[in-house]
Amino acid sequence: MYEIRIHSRGGQGGVTAARLLAIAAFRDGKHATACPFYGAERRGAPVVSYVRIDDRPIRVYSQIRNPDLVVVLDPSVMEVVDVLHGLKPGGQVLINGSDAEKIQGYPAHAIDLTGIALRENLVVAGSPILNTPVLGALAKMGIISVDSARTAIREMFADERNVKAAEAAYTELVI
């Protein structure tokens, strides 16, 4: 089972990113679950979402304590949350921005998801929406296929800018 923990702030699209990732994995023929963890958070508060992907049915629906991959949609979350806590040995990190050097001891991939969202004008209430660009980056990492990412995005959003943002992240992420 491959387990992913997504750290974001309320309103950035982290919970939706988890749902999109699970849908894309399902479209790839996998079993997947997405589970957000938040209370009465408000826009801008730290939020954590979890995704499990496996070839077999998944019978656990809870927080992920030892992920294979940590996704950080807002690097400022790292000032208040230990995003690397419990990351498995050999685990990876995907971080929004250029702060991959902040990650010590793990392979880290950085991409400017915010810049991509702004270029595509994916902004709600003044905040760039990062859920669709991150799907493209995850496809580039091999977590899902780029075709399933496109399909999942189109199932959830009619605006083609979301697909363009995912494709841009897929192209721009350097592995």
- pTM of the full structure: 0.94
The CATH code of the domain at 2-172 is 3.40.920.10
Do 18 and 134 touch, CB atoms closer than 8 A? no
pLDDT of residue 10: 86
Q: For the chain, 175 residues long, give each residue's pLDDT as a single digit of tens.
A: 999 999 999 888 999 999 999 999 999 999 999 998 876 556 778 899 999 999 999 999 889 999 999 999 999 999 999 999 999 999 999 999 987 777 888 999 999 999 999 999 999 888 899 999 999 999 999 999 999 999 999 999 999 999 999 999 999 999 8
Looking at residue 157, the DSSP 8-state letter turns out to be: -
Q: What are the strands, taking DSSP E only, across the chain?
A: 2-9, 31-37, 46-54, 69-72, 92-96, 108-111, 123-124, 127-128
